[in-house]
Structure 1
Amino acid sequence: MNVIAQANAGRETYLGISDVGYVLFYLLVAMTLAVFAYGVYLRFSRYAQGDDDPFARLNDLPSRIVSSAKIVLSNEKQFNRDLYGGLMHSFILWGFLTLLIATLIIGFEQYTTELILGIVFWEGDFYLAYQFIVDAMGLLFVVGIGMAMYRRYWVRNHRLWGRHTSNEDDLFIWTLFGLGVGGFLLEGARIYATGMPDHEIVSFVGYGIAMVFQAIDVPTTGAALEATVNGVDYSAAGALGYNAETIHWLFWWSHSLLALFFIAWIPYAKPFHMISSFANVVTRDEKAGARLPNVPSDLDATNAESIDDFTWKEILDQDACTKCGRCSSVCPAKASDRPLDPRNVILDLKKYREELDDGGEEKPIIADGGTSVINTETMESCMACMACMDACPVEIEHLQSFTRLNRQMTDQGDIAPSMQDVFQNVMQNGNTFGDSPRDRADWADELEFDVADAREEEVDYLWYVGDYPSYDERNKQVARSLATILQEADVSFGILFDDEKYDGNDIRRVGEEFLYVELAGHHVETWEDCEFDKIVCTDPHSYNTFKNEYPELDFEEFADDPMMPFDYTDQWNADGEIDVLHWTQAVEELVQDGALDLTGTELDYTVTYHDPCHLGRYNDEYEAPRELIRATGCDLDEMPRNRDNSFCCGGGGGGLWMDFEEEPKPSEERIREALEDTDAGAGIEKFVVACPMCMTMYEDGRKTGGYEEDIEIVDIAELVVEAIGAHEKANIEVAAD
């Protein structure tokens, strides 16, 4: 291309690069791609060494890739609770992808259409559009990197710093900055060295830099440039002095070498998240956390004795982590100064794995103190609230790895004495309180009507009451309220009386898998002998495990085990033919169908509502409870952290049965939020819950936090039963009385 052609819409690709330089560049490209490919091979071969994952991760792959591309390209997870972070990452991602595509376009033309077909399309209008888009998106890329550097180094956002912060984080961000800025400096030098053609104004950033070169009067070697027309290499002549051509030559090589270094470095450090994160999103389990992987009946199977016990997906999770700290920033355990940081657990496992791969010494994965990778106290702190997973922009399934660690703790006997007592209570009496199974339905004695026995008569709703509504005095009022609501709606419902046992949800998350299987087998076998349309649960924890986990169990694998007291061999509710509902969903249906009249009710309370983790984040049910609250006439004032951003009460994952030295308790912090951070502030009269565990934790937090005179803890069922004027039938007292 000659000087006259440079005035047209187009440019020379290798301006000022000699034949030797051209060959050297492509030799470096080949070496770079080889190093890159080998690094990717090492990564994926390591995944192949991981254990098989129990869930289908690659089924319907085209659909998975399309949906994952939408998630990644839209950056929807990055915008979650962080507008600044969402914009920053969007600018970087969109800019980087545009620059990558722009580079591929040049290569495609040179080595396919032009070389093979003799067709050149990178000129004229296409070239002008190309240059404008590349400059615009390249500028967004640099702005995004600048935003990241401002947040990291100026603001020093707390969640970006931790014990796993390292020099590779700095090298990553500065390399990207160098690529973005270096590309524009190279473009500006090229435009200036070629006489600032008018059409290059579309490259508005590069043209602006060229105008700076012009303003400071950087010399050019016009004669050398003319010599290029006659087939003479001008780069050597340009190198004799300080001129635009020399600057362009230096910028070209420095930018090229930096780009090649970055490509070669990708599989070996933090930049690999650009690949592993997308792979992680593609292979995600939509029900992750809500359903946990089952364990084999083989007693010789191990959970986390070694790093090789982890599945390939759990290893991929570790590589996908970008150290962004979003999981840590929303973790209620960390906020309460419990010794848990979700990011550190994932990265500790990754670091240990990499040390082993480099010849390091083996050590216990989890143990009580010592030199283990993870301390038992760390995992005891987890509330299984799934806030970490909900906040993670790359779909890391923390709870899968955490449960594996908990199961190993249980196998080793490294669990808190209080949890051992709970396990013993469940094994001996079928409930976490250790009370007699014969007393399970005593809560109903004070009702003015009889509750049907679902084992003996057909009912519409088989109501699973749960441990706390059955045995805890405060939650018995909730049970009586709900029974009265169902009675007033004139629907048939029944309970299992002493055949009802603990659902197993939370002891499973603590790691007691085989006791959970025993409980599940008992329940499904009991349900098979009953006639009902739907299962209704008081507790969101029961609702989740019946809906999402019981159908996953392979009961046949355990049926021959003499330790398992059931003969059931089918897969229960595999097709979802039995509806499993939380009671708020069932009652909301009754209200909509006109079976329960809440029109015209005016309780006139100012209330706020706490979303239970197992109803909200686990199962995306946010509206049914709110609709019932509004139907009672209460003025609902939302807390700042609501719906999927709700803050755990502290009772999940066994937290209900453990004592922690924490300040403040999650329950205390949540009540403070209700009284100080809502619009109504101290005007909030009632803190409304829809979970028996939440009721227990918040009643405790109200006392320990000194809020007894400031607010009342009530269940939605208590509001509804008061709204329909049936609280006396439920034998409960309300403030209105």
Structure 2
Amino acid sequence: MQPLVPLAADVTRPTFWRIGGVGEAVFYYLAVVAIAFFLYGVYGRLARYTQGSDDPTERLDDLGGRIVGAAKTVLSNENQFDRDTYAGVMHAFILWGFLTLLIGTTILAIDMDIVRRVGSSFFVGDFYLAYSLVMDALGLLFVVGVGMALYRRYAERYDRLWGKHTSLEDDAFIWTLFALGVGGYLLEGLRILGTSTSRDVSFETVSFVGWFLKDVYVALGVTPDLAAAAYPVVWWSHALLALGFVAMIPYAKPLHMLTSYANIVTRDENAGARLPRVPEDASPDEIGASDIDDFSWKQQLDHDACTKCGRCSSVCPANASGRNLDPRDVILDLKTYREELDAGETEKKPIVADGGTSVIDAESMESCMSCMACMDACPVDIEHVTQFTEMNRRLTESGQMDENIQDTMMDLFQKGNSFGDPERKRPNWVEDLDFDVPDAREESVEYLWYVGDYPSYDERNQKVAHALARILHESGVSYGILYEDEKHDGNDVRRVGEEGLYEMLVEDNMAAFEQCDYEKIVTTDPHSFNTFRNEYDQFGFEKGDDVYHYTQVVEEFVNDGRLELGTVDETVTYHDPCHLGRYNGEYEAPREVITATGATLDEMPRNRNDAFCCSGGGGGVWTDFSDDPKPSEERMREALEDTDAGRQVDKFVVACPQCMTMYEDGRKTGNYEDDIEVVDVSELVVQALDAKQTGAADGDVSPASAD
């Protein structure tokens, strides 16, 4: 008679049950073959990367820290949860379930192939029970996660999962995962039922999914003998599918399980905000990407890491506006071209050119706004903007730059500003002030104020310059400007690919800075803030850490009590400039200043790092696209229809001169002129200053003094 409670040694499961010695030998042979195919594929990928150019950024410094940081990012699924909770839960279930099944299989292999050959198995008793419970629980999460993926892809047909590169490969990947997960449980149920006549299997209830399927089999009339007969067929089907999956990892979509982690390990935290220099000895033919191997090994790893998830496409303002740019397609077009070229399935062609004869069309690169939304949304840290800049450099060197951009570049080269106006007119805006603006070239100052092109020459943005000048004046700080010695900062010049002109502007501005005795630089424009802070040091500038955007300085003034503000009794919403927010992580200073004015801040639905670009960056403010709708029009609509306050929003607040230009245009073309006003943060502060001074003049008292 069998004991009611199995002995500890009996609390286990048979391995290779009904497979036999020959079957076991065949399995191990196929396993070796699969692993060999896997390793050969990995070697081939690594060897291919070595054919790429050297990467200008240090990618393997502090390798231990990088590995730990990447592990945290991957295991927490934090990137997948961003903007999409469903995808975060789905991917977490799949990842944790897959890793658990992989670890569990490894543990079993260690016990079978090592421990049992030298001693007693540990795969018994309480260990086995705990093992079975965890494997069933996490395996179930895996199946649920894959089921969620199947639902989103096929039932919901989620738009961003489908595109020109969607193929049978994607179907095969997801259905293979589902078959592996479900097949393991079907096999477990057959084993429990098939062994139930020869031993007590009551302890197998810990394998609750397998036990449930065993009961289902019984309800369907499956006998233990039939289960035992079916087991080898199901086992071999499951084993061959698993080994085939392992073998194919380096050759198909499962590759991203390796490349994604490697890509996060080797990421550049400053990618996009800090572009690499062109080598000083590079000839014109060597500048930019003209051949697939001009992309560095890291950029080719970027291509292989892409999972086709479409997150970058879904947040790209150029894509949303109907422009010829889909960030995902650019990355995958480059990957496909490289693989087809290596396989001899296509001929060599230019990487980027006008006219449709290249891998990437020039119009796609001209459409990019350098907003970095694609990079922020990418869960595997693909560095799109850096690669797009390389292609823009190639277009520049080959004389294929957009005509509007070419005209602006000529103005910058000849006049030092993007308006083509005489340099002597740059400081003319100060003439409308009722106080003097100090000349930083003639006296020592705490703040060297870099005004920028648009506040200097553009009529609407000159009002922003007036507002900021008054703030600096009334704060009592020591400040000054460069007057006609100021040149364009070059940030967007660099991003459209004109590296030579960028370097010339850097040299001119650094020479002007060196004439002055100052402690800090404050900029009106986030684009200036970005390149001064992150890029000028590549050319010898040593005060990048002392560069501030004006909202950061004004926040300090308000907190220190240097500015006494009244109350702006209005409801406003705020747009995060890409170069201040996503590029440099400054989200709170502008909001603190807005709140200090007393205005009610109603956040845009897409705010902070999720903010939607105005379309002015990357040279967009100098181009003419037939967008439908314009990103600026869409943003106006969002402010008036999607915020909590809706049509009660009085002002659309910006903190960037280029944003001001684009949104004033969008307000007109979108017919929103009577619905909302566009103002700069500095103008809102001046409104609060006026409210305070008017109140004081009228004899108003504060609630505190009234008590």
Q: 1:463-542, aligned counterparts within 5 Å?
A: 463-542=449-528
Verify the 8 A CA contact 1:6 1:194 in the aligned structure 2.
no
Question: How many Å apart are 1:299 and its aligned residue?
Answer: 4.0
Find the residue that maps to 2:54 and give its secondary structure: coil
More deviation in 644-653 or 527-536? 527-536
Question: How many Å apart are 1:535 and its aligned residue?
Answer: 0.5
Find the residue that maps to 2:79 and give its secondary structure: coil
Aligned letter for 1:588? Answer: E
Residue 131 of structure 2 corresponds to 130
Verify the 8 A CA contact 2:312 2:328 in the aligned structure 1.
yes
Verify the 8 A CA contact 2:195 2:224 in the aligned structure 1.
no
Residue 319 of structure 2 corresponds to 334
Find the residue that maps to 2:582 and give its secondary structure: coil
Q: TM-score with structure 2 length normalisation?
A: 0.95
Which of 690, 697, 711 aligns to 2:662? It is: 697
More deviation in 87-96 or 208-217? 208-217
Find the residue that maps to 1:441 and give its secondary structure: helix
Verify the 8 A CA contact 1:302 1:309 in the aligned structure 2.
no
Distance 1:421 1:635 in 2: 42
Verify the 8 A CA contact 1:721 1:727 in the aligned structure 2.
no
Question: How many Å apart are 1:304 and its aligned residue?
Answer: 1.1
Distance 2:420 2:461 in 1: 17
Question: How many Å apart are 1:197 and its aligned residue?
Answer: 0.6
Question: How many Å apart are 1:119 and its aligned residue?
Answer: 3.6
Question: How many Å apart are 1:8 and its aligned residue?
Answer: 3.2
Distance 2:661 2:94 in 1: 46
Per-residue CA deviation, residues 471-516 of structure 1 (Å, 9 max, x unaligned), is: 0010001001001001111001001111100000011101000110
Verify the 8 A CA contact 2:349 2:357 in the aligned structure 1.
yes
Verify the 8 A CA contact 2:365 2:392 in the aligned structure 1.
yes
Find the residue that maps to 2:679 and give its secondary structure: strand
Residue 77 of structure 2 corresponds to 75
**1:537 and 1:727, CA in 2 relative to 1: closer, same or farther beyond 3 A?**
farther
Aligned letter for 1:516? Answer: Y
Verify the 8 A CA contact 2:567 2:691 in the aligned structure 1.
no
* 5+ long unaligned stretches in structure 2: 695-707
Distance 1:189 1:245 in 2: 7
Alignment of 1:595 with 2:562, yes or no, is yes
Residue 608 of structure 2 corresponds to 643
Verify the 8 A CA contact 1:92 1:145 in the aligned structure 2.
yes
Distance 1:501 1:247 in 2: 79
Verify the 8 A CA contact 2:9 2:124 in the aligned structure 1.
no
Residue 209 of structure 1 corresponds to 213
Per-residue CA deviation, residues 525-544 of structure 1 (Å, 9 max, x unaligned), is: 22123111111000000000
Residue 699 of structure 2 corresponds to none
Alignment of 1:254 with 2:237, yes or no, is yes
Distance 1:475 1:162 in 2: 41
Verify the 8 A CA contact 1:95 1:141 in the aligned structure 2.
yes
Distance 2:245 2:385 in 1: 33
Residue 44 of structure 1 corresponds to 46
Which of 406, 414, 421 aligns to 2:407? It is: 421
Which of 256, 266, 287 aligns to 1:302? It is: 287
Alignment of 1:581 with 2:582, yes or no, is no
Question: How many Å apart are 1:7 and its aligned residue?
Answer: 8.8
Alignment of 1:628 with 2:593, yes or no, is yes
Aligned letter for 1:422? Answer: T
Find the residue that maps to 1:714 and give its secondary structure: strand
Residue 732 of structure 1 corresponds to none
Verify the 8 A CA contact 1:481 1:727 in the aligned structure 2.
no
More deviation in 654-663 or 265-274? 654-663
Aligned letter for 2:546? Answer: D
Distance 1:471 1:526 in 2: 19
Residue 157 of structure 1 corresponds to 158
**1:424 and 1:267, CA in 2 relative to 1: closer, same or farther beyond 3 A?**
same
Distance 2:162 2:478 in 1: 57
Distance 2:250 2:203 in 1: 39
Alignment of 1:387 with 2:387, yes or no, is no
Aligned letter for 1:665? Answer: K
Aligned letter for 1:177? Answer: F
Aligned letter for 1:153? Answer: Y
Find the residue that maps to 2:619 and give its secondary structure: helix
Distance 1:65 1:82 in 2: 25
Per-residue CA deviation, residues 653-680 of structure 1 (Å, 9 max, x unaligned), is: 1110111111110000000000111111
Question: How many Å apart are 1:573 and its aligned residue?
Answer: 1.7
Per-residue CA deviation, residues 578-602 of structure 1 (Å, 9 max, x unaligned), is: 411000001101111222223xx21
Find the residue that maps to 1:189 and give its secondary structure: helix
Question: How many Å apart are 1:726 and its aligned residue?
Answer: 8.4
Residue 709 of structure 1 corresponds to 674
Per-residue CA deviation, residues 378-424 of structure 1 (Å, 9 max, x unaligned), is: 11110000000000000000001110111111111111111011100
Verify the 8 A CA contact 2:456 2:462 in the aligned structure 1.
yes
Q: 1:441-452, aligned counterparts within 5 Å?
A: 441-452=427-438
Alignment of 1:346 with 2:348, yes or no, is no
Alignment of 1:185 with 2:168, yes or no, is no
Find the residue that maps to 1:440 and give its secondary structure: helix
Verify the 8 A CA contact 1:278 1:394 in the aligned structure 2.
yes
Distance 1:220 1:697 in 2: 73
Distance 1:121 1:596 in 2: 72
Number of equivalent positions: 685
Question: How many Å apart are 1:110 and its aligned residue?
Answer: 2.1
Verify the 8 A CA contact 2:573 2:651 in the aligned structure 1.
yes
Question: How many Å apart are 1:22 and its aligned residue?
Answer: 0.7
Which of 279, 302, 320 aligns to 1:317? It is: 302
Verify the 8 A CA contact 1:109 1:122 in the aligned structure 2.
yes
Alignment of 1:431 with 2:385, yes or no, is no
Verify the 8 A CA contact 2:454 2:658 in the aligned structure 1.
yes
Aligned letter for 2:686? Answer: V
Find the residue that maps to 1:535 and give its secondary structure: strand
Q: 1:273-312, aligned counterparts within 5 Å?
A: 273-300=256-283, 301-312=286-297
Distance 1:220 1:198 in 2: 15
* 5+ long unaligned stretches in structure 1: 222-242, 556-570, 730-737
Per-residue CA deviation, residues 12-32 of structure 1 (Å, 9 max, x unaligned), is: 121111111011000001100
Distance 1:317 1:498 in 2: 43
Verify the 8 A CA contact 2:53 2:294 in the aligned structure 1.
yes
Aligned-pair identity (%)? 62
Aligned letter for 1:628? Answer: V
Aligned letter for 1:257? Answer: L
Per-residue CA deviation, residues 197-247 of structure 1 (Å, 9 max, x unaligned), is: 1110000000000111222232234xxxxxxxxxxxxxxxxxxxxx11121
Question: How many Å apart are 1:298 and its aligned residue?
Answer: 2.2
Verify the 8 A CA contact 1:7 1:197 in the aligned structure 2.
no
Per-residue CA deviation, residues 610-657 of structure 1 (Å, 9 max, x unaligned), is: 000000111111110011111101011111111111000011111101
Find the residue that maps to 2:618 and give its secondary structure: helix
Per-residue CA deviation, residues 167-197 of structure 1 (Å, 9 max, x unaligned), is: 0000000100010000000111111111061
Distance 1:11 1:420 in 2: 73
Residue 455 of structure 1 corresponds to 441
Alignment of 1:604 with 2:573, yes or no, is no
Question: How many Å apart are 1:728 and its aligned residue?
Answer: 10
Residue 541 of structure 2 corresponds to 572
Find the residue that maps to 1:181 and give its secondary structure: helix
**1:728 and 1:409, CA in 2 relative to 1: closer, same or farther beyond 3 A?**
farther
Alignment of 1:93 with 2:95, yes or no, is yes
Residue 272 of structure 1 corresponds to 255
Verify the 8 A CA contact 1:6 1:197 in the aligned structure 2.
no
Residue 115 of structure 2 corresponds to 113
More deviation in 653-662 or 459-468? 653-662
Per-residue CA deviation, residues 555-593 of structure 1 (Å, 9 max, x unaligned), is: 4xxxxxxxxxxxxxxx2227x5x4110000011011112
Residue 176 of structure 2 corresponds to 175
Distance 2:13 2:289 in 1: 59
Distance 2:76 2:215 in 1: 36
Alignment of 1:220 with 2:224, yes or no, is yes
Question: How many Å apart are 1:370 and its aligned residue?
Answer: 2.9
Which of 688, 707, 711 aligns to 2:653? It is: 688
Distance 1:597 1:672 in 2: 34
Find the residue that maps to 2:576 and give its secondary structure: coil
Verify the 8 A CA contact 1:7 1:198 in the aligned structure 2.
no
Aligned letter for 1:161? Answer: W
